[in-house]
């Protein structure tokens, strides 16, 4: 449980700092919350997507006539039926709405059908005849980066290359350690499958779309372009979102569903099953990373060299941005003067990859934290000491030359984590459920070894590289009730309750009404990059402050008081230099005060040819210590405890914050020991929850968390984003603990049982800490 | 085909159905009970948990037409709109809800656990909900919610 120490008075119920109750929790526990998959309309049809069965093939022909002849089928659409732009995509729009001449991955959409029942849709999909001419798939990034390899797309196989050169490329030290690391393809695996309901509007020229997404306005832009209609004719409302974690940042079924709706002029419901969900959204980039560190004899880092190869899959998605995040975080949360880093995001015939919680930094962190333990071993230091010795502080520079002007309590995160007591040793007669293998009852207690490992990370917050990011909010204050309107996607993270807390704190009200989340207001940007507390929180805060100023002006005029003397105290307007005290409810009775605000963060710049530039907005830091039990014979791992101290700036809702930390840790645990999309020639071998393993309650470790609260002056509320850091350095911490328990030199995640028990002779196990 | 199911104590007619439809599909798409969620269609995630003749089952794995005669209880039966029982209240106050997609299934599973086990240990709780995958919370606040519901009942009984 979290143990943030507070000495000040407890906040008023429901305001900032309180574990305020989520407004969506009540409907959710009753099953009465409406998720996008629950949307329903009279007279609706079901939509479904035909997908490529080849990783790479020329399309010779598509014959839809047999599908159209089936009773109940209303229409079948292919590439010929896309009236607007034939492609979409977040950065480079290179993903075809429907493949026309070539398919480039297994699962690429070819056609969409609308019919009266999901079963009719399936029959129609089976009736579509596609003749392919198979081509050799390109599935290896090391081949994709080779200029001699034929391009699989007119834009080539290199989605982006960027280098970073800083300091003296010849700098070295007495310690030189290197390794080559691999990170497997992780799936976001949100529970609420992709779903949308499209409703034609009255004149049939536009539509309303209820959809689970992370970014309504970006979806609208891409949909309108593909439909060839004005964005104003596409109105989006957020359908209830069952988790996102990056997988809803790209378009999945939005365009297909909208096209079917415009064509049939009927409501269209589309929803993916789990297997189609695996095919229909982007994943975390698999990566191969070579890294070499040069250090002084005392473990002080001199230089980092690295090469990153990220597998972007068939289409661009956000690969270009993921790559920049990966390479600009190559040094980790440590001082490093000299750097020679190159990164490539590559196009292959594997499934497209894009955003997932941690966005490139997860991959970099696994490499740099594995390297830190190698430096520690070479310098004769323990894992804590080597990290403290190199810990970044405010004022230090990234290898991009950017000065870290965020609060940077790296040392404090490490020390506070180290202070957390270790768990008791495994009892002599443990319950089998507590052993590696859990309910499989597989482990032999005498062959179980315990290990401890560390991971520390730095994560950029918000978007980078010159993107002018903003969020908009609007408030009406009347009769002691605030009504908020914004387009911020609530995907489960808890922005709705945070927005209410802000309004209660700033305006002195208890009741805060939330308007539907839709495109009727300005964009809020994406719920990603740990940015909404900062960006949309800043927008709501700004809007409420404007409404409050107007309230103070009105009250001041009525009472002959300079408005600058007025303040909110509890639920009253008070004169700080006098005796006036008016309840906000009375002061706002019968009249309305408005506030509109668009929050921008400070500008960033692009990187130059040598990877130099102030490309990021701000940073957050976190430390993790993992304790694991490993069955040496079976290679099974049980994560016993994760201790963490996270730099959060300021805790705005303790219960919501601890939920983010614990949830992120579970996802990082998944990447460490179980989660991987297994590919063979570009084909997913395990696109189901039977075969793609997710952490269950029996896999969940004890999490002991501390919040490091040093308010961030740049942040509107003093609070940093907290969504991504929890899942980043916990993965290398767990792997380091497995190395310590098993003596194996593990260089890839997830760690599989055979990596622990079948990969050659083990070194002598050590305590690791 | 047309048949009748006994849902939450009421006989409900299912008309013009296809025989291949799962109980999950019929509840959601034919009987207007969308509280039961579908997320894997393979009985792995527990989002679709309902209680059938006293056993917690994954409704995605139950053929609806085969459930004729069974007593089926869904999340909608646990409390009337706007009211929460002890388990639901604990999920709200202990932070057990984030995106909420797994929540109805978890609430049904936890209620079922507490109905059949008077005072479950922490390990029994972990095992009882190990068939309900939650991707958001990492289970920490879910455990807290179940313990709170258990402890509230323990305190009420003493």
Percent of chain A predicted with pLDDT > 90: 94
Which member of A19, A119, A242 has the closest CB to residue B18?
A: A119
Given a cut of 80, is residue B54 above it in pLDDT? yes
Contacts of A470 (CB under 8 A, 6+ apart): A522, A523, A525, A535, A539, A598, A599, A600
Question: What pLDDT, on a 0 to 100 scale, did the predictor assign at position A769?
Answer: 37
Contact A28 B18 (CB under 8 A): no
Residue B92, token pair as written in the block? 């709200």
Q: Which residues of A touch B90 (CB under 8 A)?
A: none
Question: What pLDDT, on a 0 to 100 scale, did the predictor assign at position A6?
Answer: 47
The CA R_g of chain A, rounded to the nearest whole Å, is: 27
Phi, psi of A264 (to 5 degrees): -85, -20
Mean pLDDT of A732-749: 97
> What is the H or E stretch that residue A30 is in?
helix A25-30
Alpha-carbon distance B85 to nearest alpha carbon in chain A (angstroms): 10
Interface predicted TM-score of the whole assembly (ipTM), two decimals? 0.98
Alpha-carbon distance A264 to nearest alpha carbon in chain B (angstroms): 21
Among A616, A447, A450, A457, which residue's Cα sits nearest to residue A531? A616
Chain B residue with CA closest to A433: the answer is B123
Q: Order of strands, edge to edge, in the sheet holding A234-238? A: A73-77, A109-115, A45-51, A268-271, A195-200, A207-211, A234-238
- The separation between the first and the last C-alpha atoms of chain B, rounded to the nearest angstrom, is 52
3 state DSSP class of A302? strand
Residue A429, token pair as written in the block? 């007669």
Confidence of residue A443 (pLDDT cuts 50, 70, 90): confident
Mean pLDDT of A474-491: 98
Q: Tell me how many residue pairs between chain A and chain B have CB atoms under 8 A apart.
A: 194
Question: What pLDDT, on a 0 to 100 scale, did the predictor assign at position A438?
Answer: 79
The CA R_g of chain B, rounded to the nearest whole Å, is: 16
Contacts of A447 (CB under 8 A, 6+ apart): A631, A632, A633
Given a cut of 60, is residue A279 above it in pLDDT? yes
Instruction: Answer whether B73 touches A (CB < 8 Å).
Output: no
Instruction: Answer whether B147 touches A (CB < 8 Å).
Output: no
Alpha-carbon distance A728 to nearest alpha carbon in chain B (angstroms): 15
Q: Are A390 and A300 in contact (CB under 8 A)?
A: yes
Question: What pLDDT, on a 0 to 100 scale, did the predictor assign at position A764?
Answer: 46
Alpha-carbon distance B69 to nearest alpha carbon in chain A (angstroms): 24
Output the CA torsion sign for A628, A631, A634, A635: positive
Q: Which residues of A touch B146 (CB under 8 A)?
A: none
DSSP E strands in A314-390: the ranges are 338-347
> pLDDT by residue (tens digit) across A378-420?
999 999 999 999 999 999 999 999 999 999 999 999 999 999 9
Given a cut of 50, is residue A161 above it in pLDDT? yes
* Best residue of A23, A24, A29, A41 to probe chain B, by most B CBs closer than 10 Å: A29
Percent of chain B predicted with pLDDT > 90: 92
CA B146 to chain centre: 14
Which residues on neighbouring strands pair with residue A630, listed in sequence order? A449, A637
Question: What pLDDT, on a 0 to 100 scale, did the predictor assign at position A519?
Answer: 97
Instruction: Give the whole-angstrom CA distance, residue A706 versus residue A5.
Output: 9
Given a cut of 70, is residue A285 above it in pLDDT? yes
* Best residue of B44, B100, B137 to probe chain A, by most A CBs closer than 10 Å: B100
Q: Which residues of A touch B135 (CB under 8 A)?
A: 188-191, 243, 245, 663, 666-667, 694
Q: Quote the mean pLDDT of chain A.
A: 96
Instruction: Give the whole-angstrom CA distance, residue A612 versus residue A282.
Output: 29
Residue position matching structure tokens 């293998």 = A437
Question: What pLDDT, on a 0 to 100 scale, did the predictor assign at position A203?
Answer: 81
> pLDDT by residue (tens digit) across A116-138?
999 999 999 999 999 999 999 99
Chain A residue with CA closest to B95: the answer is A655
H-assigned helices in chain B: 23-25, 86-93, 103-116, 122-128, 140-157
Lowest mean pLDDT among A166-170, A442-446, A568-572: A442-446
Instruction: Answer whether B27 touches A (CB < 8 Å).
Output: no
Given a cut of 70, is residue A760 above it in pLDDT? no
DSSP notation for A673-733: HT----EETTEES--STTTS----TTTPPEEEEEEE----TTSTTSPPP-SSGGGTTHHHH
Which member of A117, A491, A689 has the closest CB to residue B42?
A: A689
A79-116: buried (b, 16+ CB within 10 Å) or exposed (e) per residue? bebbeeebbbbbbbbbbbbbbbebbbbbbbbbbbbbbe
> pLDDT by residue (tens digit) across A682-730?
999 999 999 999 999 999 999 999 999 999 999 999 999 999 999 999 9
Alpha-carbon distance A727 to nearest alpha carbon in chain B (angstroms): 11
Residue A584, token pair as written in the block? 């906000």
Alpha-carbon distance B68 to nearest alpha carbon in chain A (angstroms): 22
Question: What pLDDT, on a 0 to 100 scale, did the predictor assign at position A429?
Answer: 87
Q: Are A83 and A227 in contact (CB under 8 A)?
A: yes
> What is the H or E stretch that residue A320 is in?
helix A319-328
* Packing angle, helices B140-157 and A654-673, rounded to 10: 120
> pLDDT by residue (tens digit) across A303-349?
999 999 999 999 999 999 999 999 999 999 999 999 999 999 999 99
Q: Which residues of B touch A210 (CB under 8 A)?
A: none
Given a cut of 60, is residue A768 above it in pLDDT? no
Residue A130, token pair as written in the block? 């596609």
Alpha-carbon distance B158 to nearest alpha carbon in chain A (angstroms): 27
* Packing angle, helices A410-419 and A383-390, rounded to 10: 160
Contact A690 B138 (CB under 8 A): no
Q: Which residues of A touch B18 (CB under 8 A)?
A: 117, 119
> pLDDT by residue (tens digit) across A509-530?
999 999 999 999 999 999 999 9
Instruction: Give the whole-angstrom CA distance, residue A116 versus residue A44.
Output: 8
> What is the H or E stretch that residue A558 is in?
helix A532-559
Q: In this structure, what is the dihedral angle of CA atoms B101, B107, B108, B112, given to the nearest 10 degrees? A: 150
Mean pLDDT of A567-592: 97
> pLDDT by residue (tens digit) across A187-215?
999 999 999 999 999 688 999 999 999 99
Question: What pLDDT, on a 0 to 100 scale, did the predictor assign at position A284?
Answer: 98
Q: Which residues of A touch B133 (CB under 8 A)?
A: 191, 689, 694, 696
Which member of A35, A117, A700 has the closest CB to residue B138?
A: A700
Q: Which residues of A touch B95 (CB under 8 A)?
A: 19, 655-656, 658-659
CA distances to A504, A564, A626, A648, A704 from A421, in Å: 38, 50, 12, 22, 9
Chain B residue with CA closest to A496: the answer is B98
Mean pLDDT of A132-155: 98
Q: In this structure, how many other beta carbons lie within 10 angstroms of the beta carbon of residue A761?
A: 6
CA distances to A156, A177, A194, A264 from A35, in Å: 40, 50, 10, 24
Instruction: Give the whole-angstrom CA distance, residue B19 versus residue B4.
Output: 13
Which member of A439, A491, A665 has the closest CB to residue B138?
A: A665
Q: Which residues of B touch A119 (CB under 8 A)?
A: 18, 20
Q: Are A458 and A333 in contact (CB under 8 A)?
A: yes
A458-490: buried (b, 16+ CB within 10 Å) or exposed (e) per residue? bbbbbbbbebebbbbbbbbbbebbbbbbbbbbb
CA distances to A162, A176, A329, A364 from A303, in Å: 18, 9, 14, 16
* Best residue of B83, B92, B93, B101 to probe chain A, by most A CBs closer than 10 Å: B101
Q: Are A159 and A347 in contact (CB under 8 A)?
A: yes
Lowest mean pLDDT among A253-262, A374-383, B74-83, B138-147: B74-83
Instruction: Give the whole-angstrom CA distance, residue A134 versus residue A106.
Output: 12
Question: What pLDDT, on a 0 to 100 scale, did the predictor assign at position A441?
Answer: 67
pTM of the model: 0.97
Question: What pLDDT, on a 0 to 100 scale, did the predictor assign at position A437?
Answer: 86
A448-461/A581-583 β-pairing: unpaired
Contact A26 B20 (CB under 8 A): no
Instruction: Give the whole-angstrom CA distance, residue B36 versus residue B107.
Output: 11
CA distances to A304, A668, A735 from A746, in Å: 20, 16, 7
Given a cut of 80, is residue A1 above it in pLDDT? no
Question: What pLDDT, on a 0 to 100 scale, did the predictor assign at position A5?
Answer: 45
Given a cut of 90, is residue B154 above it in pLDDT? no
Instruction: Give the whole-angstrom CA distance, residue A113 versus residue A98.
Output: 12
Q: In this structure, how many other beta carbons lie within 10 angstroms of the beta carbon of residue A21?
A: 18
Output the CA torsion sign for A650, A653, A655, A657: negative
Given a cut of 70, is residue A375 above it in pLDDT? yes
Q: Are A314 and A349 in contact (CB under 8 A)?
A: yes
Among A509, A502, A591, A508, which residue's Cα sits nearest to residue A554? A591
> pLDDT by residue (tens digit) across B2-53?
999 999 999 999 999 989 999 999 999 999 999 999 999 999 999 999 999 9
Contact A700 B139 (CB under 8 A): yes
Among A196, A193, A192, which residue's Cα sits nearest to residue A44? A196
Instruction: Give the whole-angstrom CA distance, residue B121 versus residue A10.
Output: 33
Mean pLDDT of A367-375: 98
> pLDDT by residue (tens digit) across A56-111?
999 999 999 999 999 999 999 999 999 999 999 999 999 999 999 999 999 999 99
A165 burial level (CB within 10 Å; 0-12, 13-18, 19+)? middle
């Amino acid at each position: 449980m979290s143990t943030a120490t507070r000495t000040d008075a407890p906040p008023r119920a429901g305001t900032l700092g309180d574990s305020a109750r989520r407004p969506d929790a009540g409907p959710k526990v009753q099953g009465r919350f409406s998720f996008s998959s629950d949307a329903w309309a009279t007279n609706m049809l079901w939509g479904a997507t035909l997908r490529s069965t080849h990783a790479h093939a020329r399309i010779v022909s598509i014959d839809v006539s047999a599908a159209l002849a089936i009773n109940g089928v209303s229409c079948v659409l292919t590439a010929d039926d896309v009236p607007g732009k034939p492609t979409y995509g977040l950065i480079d729009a290179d993903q075809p709405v429907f493949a026309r001449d070539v398919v480039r991955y297994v699962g690429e959409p070819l056609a969409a059908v609308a019919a009266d029942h999901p079963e009719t849709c399936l029959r129609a999909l089976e009736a579509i005849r596609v003749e392919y001419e198979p081509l050799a798939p390109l599935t290896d990034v090391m081949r994709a980066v080779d200029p001699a390899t034929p391009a699989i797309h007119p834009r080539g196989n290199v989605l982006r290359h960027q280098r970073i050169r800083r300091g003296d490329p010849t700098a070295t030290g007495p310690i030189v350690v290197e390794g080559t690391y691999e990170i497997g393809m992780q799936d976001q695996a949100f529970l609420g499958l992709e779903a949308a309901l499209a409703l034609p509007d009255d004149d049939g020229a536009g539509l309303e779309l209820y959809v689970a997404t992370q970014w309504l306005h970006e979806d609208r832009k891409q949909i309108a372009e593909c439909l060839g209609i004005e964005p104003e004719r596409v109105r989006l409302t957020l359908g209830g979102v069952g988790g996102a974690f990056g997988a809803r940042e790209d378009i999945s079924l939005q365009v297909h569903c909208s096209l079917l709706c415009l064509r049939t002029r009927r409501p269209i419901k589309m929803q993916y099953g789990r297997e189609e969900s695996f095919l229909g959204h982007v994943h975390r980039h698999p990566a191969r990373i070579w890294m070499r560190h040069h250090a002084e004899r005392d473990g002080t880092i001199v230089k980092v060299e690295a090469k990153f190869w990220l597998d972007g899959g068939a289409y661009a998605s956000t690969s270009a941005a993921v790559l920049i995040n990966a390479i600009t975080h190559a040094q980790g949360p440590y001082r490093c003067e000299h750097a020679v880093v190159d990164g490539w995001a590559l196009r292959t015939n594997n499934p497209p990859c894009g955003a997932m919680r941690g966005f490139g930094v997860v991959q970099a962190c696994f490499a740099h934290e594995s390297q830190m333990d190698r430096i520690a071993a070479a310098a004769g230091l323990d894992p804590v000491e080597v990290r403290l010795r190199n810990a970044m502080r405010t004022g230090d520079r990234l290898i991009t030359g950017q000065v870290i002007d965020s609060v940077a309590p790296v040392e404090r995160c490490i020390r506070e984590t180290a202070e957390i007591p270790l768990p008791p040793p495994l009892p002599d007669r443990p319950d089998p459920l507590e052993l590696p293998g859990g309910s499989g009852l597989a482990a032999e207690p005498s062959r179980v070894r315990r290990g401890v490992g560390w991971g520390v990370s730095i994560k950029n917050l918000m978007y980078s590289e010159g993107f002018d990011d903003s969020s908009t909010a609007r408030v009406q204050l009347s009769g002691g009730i605030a009504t908020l309107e914004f387009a911020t996607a609530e995907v489960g993270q808890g922005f709705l309750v945070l927005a209410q807390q802000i309004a209660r704190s700033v305006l002195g009200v208890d009741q805060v009404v939330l308007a539907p989340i839709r495109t009727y207001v300005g964009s809020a940007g994406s719920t990603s990059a740990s940015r909404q507390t900062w960006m949309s929180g800043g927008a709501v805060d700004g809007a409420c402050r404007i409404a409050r100023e107007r309230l103070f002006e009105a009250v001041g005029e009525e009472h002959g008081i300079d408005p600058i003397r007025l303040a909110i105290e509890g639920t009253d307007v008070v004169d700080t230099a006098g005796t006036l005290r008016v309840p906000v409810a009375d002061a706002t009775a019968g009249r309305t005060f408005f506030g509109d605000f668009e929050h921008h963060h400070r500008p960033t710049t692009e990187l130059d040819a040598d990877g130099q530039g102030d490309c990021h907005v701000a940073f957050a830091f976190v430390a993790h210590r993992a304790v694991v039990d490993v069955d040496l014979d079976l290679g099974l791992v049980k994560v016993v405890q994760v201790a963490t101290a996270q730099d959060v700036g300021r805790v705005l809702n303790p219960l919501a914050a601890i939920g983010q930390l614990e949830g992120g840790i579970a996802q990082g645990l998944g990447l460490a020991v179980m989660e991987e999309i297994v590919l063979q020639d570009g084909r997913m071998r395990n696109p189901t929850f039977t075969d793609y393993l997710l952490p269950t309650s029996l896999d969940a470790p004890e999490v002991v968390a501390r919040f490091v609260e040093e308010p961030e002056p740049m942040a509107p509320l003093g609070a940093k984003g907290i969504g991504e850091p929890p899942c980043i350095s916990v993965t290398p911490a767990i792997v380091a603990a497995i190395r310590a328990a098993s003596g194996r030199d593990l260089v890839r995640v997830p760690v599989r049982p055979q990596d622990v028990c079948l990969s050659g002779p083990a070194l002598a196990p050590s305590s690791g800490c | 085909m047309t048949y009748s199911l006994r849902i939450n104590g009421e006989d409900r007619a299912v008309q013009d159905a296809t025989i291949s439809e799962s109980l999950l599909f019929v509840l959601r798409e034919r009987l207007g009970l969308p509280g039961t969620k579908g997320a894997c269609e393979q009985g792995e995630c527990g989002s679709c948990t309902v209680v059938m003749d006293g056993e917690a089952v994954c409704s995605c794995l139950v053929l609806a037409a085969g459930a004729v005669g069974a007593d089926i209880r869904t999340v909608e039966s646990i409390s009337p709109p706007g009211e929460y029982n002890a388990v639901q209240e604990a999920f709200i106050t202990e932070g057990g809800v984030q995106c909420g997609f797994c929540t109805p299934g978890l609430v049904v599973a936890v209620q079922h656990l507490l109905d059949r086990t008077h005072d479950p240990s922490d390990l029994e709780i972990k095992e009882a909900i190990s068939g309900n995958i939650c991707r958001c919370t990492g289970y920490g606040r879910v455990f807290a919610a179940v313990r709170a519901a258990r402890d509230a009942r323990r305190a009420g009984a003493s």
